[in-house]
Amino acid sequence: MAREWETVIGLEIHAQLATRSKIFSGSATAYGGSPNVQANLVDLGYPGVLPVLNREAVRMAVKFGLAIGATVARRSVFARKNYFYPDLPKGYQISQYELPVVASGAVEILLDDGARKSVGVTRAHLEEDAGKSLHEGLGRMSGIDLNRAGTPLLEIVSEPDMRSAREAIAYMKKIHTLVRYLEICDGNMQEGSFRCDANVSVRPKGARDYGTRCEIKNLNSFRFVERAINHEVARQVELIEGGGKVVQETRLYDPGRDETRSMRSKEEANDYRYFPDPDLLPLSLDDAFIEDVRQGLPELPDAKAARFAKEHGLSDYDAGVLTASRELANYYEEAARASGGKWKRTANVVAGEVLGRLNRDGLDIQDARITPILLAGLVARVEDETISISSVKPVFEWMWDHGADADAAIAAKDRRQIKDTGAIEKAIAEVMAANPRQLADYRAGKDKLFGFFVGQVMKATAGKANPAQVNELLKRMLAGP
């Protein structure tokens, strides 16, 4: 009597904005300084100090709003979220509550089956981050590091539009790509610059009302988000099928044990006593400012991928892979242009060899050891048949390891294609002599063995023989005199 369940997921993503200084003070935002060196009197919440809004943070939020086709509020309001915690110096966090700067946007994600789906973004608002409490290595004491206090965050709240962990990851990756394209967030998840909370509930398939949701806090990798959601869905289904009820609560994902556990229930939740911050005037944005931000927007990933598909003839999948970051797309496009517009061949080399190598070495495209121009040289050598496809990999690897151009690599690895008919005939003759049984079978009508002979000839020539010539000569010589 197993019922079918539908998962409903909404995400709250916190993207740390890449401003030089904090959202309400002039302190630096750089990561990793010794504790409290990047906290001034405003960050420390000293008596008498006042917040002054960083315009750059506003510009970044507006950029994001425009990029997801959202409404950018002409008037938004900063509010105080009141609660006590030692790493929250003022006893309140300045955030936006009733009137956020960005509302009602959407992004499109590509599903596993190739279909597209729109995920709504309810709102995105500006707020300040808190500091960090440190409990390790201090004995009975706790330490407080306020370097992060006041760092600008954009909290991006989605609609409950996702129906599986895979969709949630696709959405999260989409936002991740977007904020890096816009250069408003470095996207570094290890350092916590990009993290998310997931609201998860289940309901019987076809039901109209949502089930009771749990919020899973502070997920800082794509893998954890997927595992935490899958775990939570299983927990909720098991609970309900066992006759229990899901309680609305905040849960924490423990990656070590791969489980979520309760942090606090709805009853224990704080009453944050939000009210408009009287130290800050409402944020007013005029059309000229918004238009100015719009003019400065880069080509966005979706538009770029569509252009790659339409103008370069790439598949949707490849176009998506190559636009995962602005730097990668630029690398591909520069290499393809330098190769004289060999779009597909360049795309294959970038998506295959370059990304493969980066992935293996744990590097980003910015760390690529060969320039797009050098890569274009490799593509050119395939195009002019100096090397065959099977030589791309070894030549590429040598280029990468030596930072060398294609010709040097081809010479060093001796990968130049063999086009000398005599040499190929000689190789074929030797293969025929070495495999009399197969030859006899072939001549007896076993055509399938043709591929075997191609393989043997290529092997004998270390993959360097011109494939067309090999085909043609093999056909003639196998047929017999």
Residues of this chain that interact with other proteins (CB under 8 A) are 41, 44-53, 80, 82, 84, 86, 89-92, 144, 271, 273-275, 278-281
**Closer residue to other proteins in complex, CB, 39/305:** 39
Smallest distance, other proteins to C-beta of residue 160, A: 23
Distance CA 400, CA 48 (A): 58
Which residues, other chains included, contact 389 with Cβ-Cβ below 8 Å and sequence gap of 6+?
382
Residue 144 or residue 418: which is nearer to other proteins going by CB? 144
Give 89 or 463: the residue with its C-beta nearer to other proteins. 89
Q: Report d(CA 73, CA 70) in Å as an integer.
A: 9
* H or E, element range at 236: helix 222-241
Nearest distance from C-beta of residue 269 to other proteins, angstroms: 10
Query: Contact at 8 Å (CB) between 226 and 255?
Result: no
Which of 80, 342 has the CB closer to other proteins?
A: 80
Query: Which residue lies nearer to other proteins by CB, 53 or 412?
Result: 53
DSSP 326-376: HHHHHHHHHHHHHTTS-HHHHHHHIIIIIHHHHHHHT--GGG-SS-HHHHH
Q: Name which of 69 and 86 has its Cβ closer to other proteins.
A: 86
Report, in Å, the least distance between residue 134 CB and other proteins: 14
- The distance of closest approach from Cβ of residue 150 to other proteins in the complex, given in angstroms and rounded to an integer, is 14
Distance of closest approach, residue 197 Cβ to other proteins, in angstroms: 21
Tokens of 223: 């893998």
Among residues 144, 135, 57, which one has the least CA distance to residue 94?
A: 57
Q: Sheet of 275-276: strands edge to edge?
A: 92-96, 78-82, 275-276
For other proteins, which is the closer residue by CB, 91 or 255? 91
Q: How many residues does the chain have?
A: 481
Whose Cβ is closer to other proteins: residue 207's or residue 281's?
Answer: 281
50 close to 6: Cβ distance less than 8 angstroms: no
Provide, rounded to whole angstroms, the least separation between the CB of residue 23 and other proteins: 13
And the tokens for 222?
Answer: 């794509």
Q: How far is CA 193 from the centre of its chain?
A: 13
Cβ proximity of 97 and 54 under 8 Å? no
36 or 218: whose CB is closer to other proteins?
36
80 vs 176, beta carbon nearer other proteins: 80
Handedness of CA 428, 434, 437, 438 (dihedral sign): negative
- Tally of CB atoms within 10 A around 305: 22
Q: Of 94 and 350, which has the nearer Cβ to other proteins? A: 94
**Which token pair is 25?**
């003070």
Element (H, E) at 413: helix 406-413
Q: Nearer to other proteins by C-beta: 96 or 386?
A: 96
Distance of alpha carbon 129 from alpha carbon 113, whole angstroms:
38
Residue (of 233, 235, 253, 252) closest to 244 by Cα position: 235
Do 70 and 121 contact (CB within 8 A), yes or no? yes
In angstroms, the CA 200 to CA 205 distance is: 15
Closest distance of CB 127 from other proteins, Å:
16
Which phi and psi angles does 137 have, rounded to 5°?
A: 75, 15
| Backbone φ and ψ of 71, nearest 5° | -85, 125
Question: Is 40 in a helix, a strand, or coil?
Answer: coil
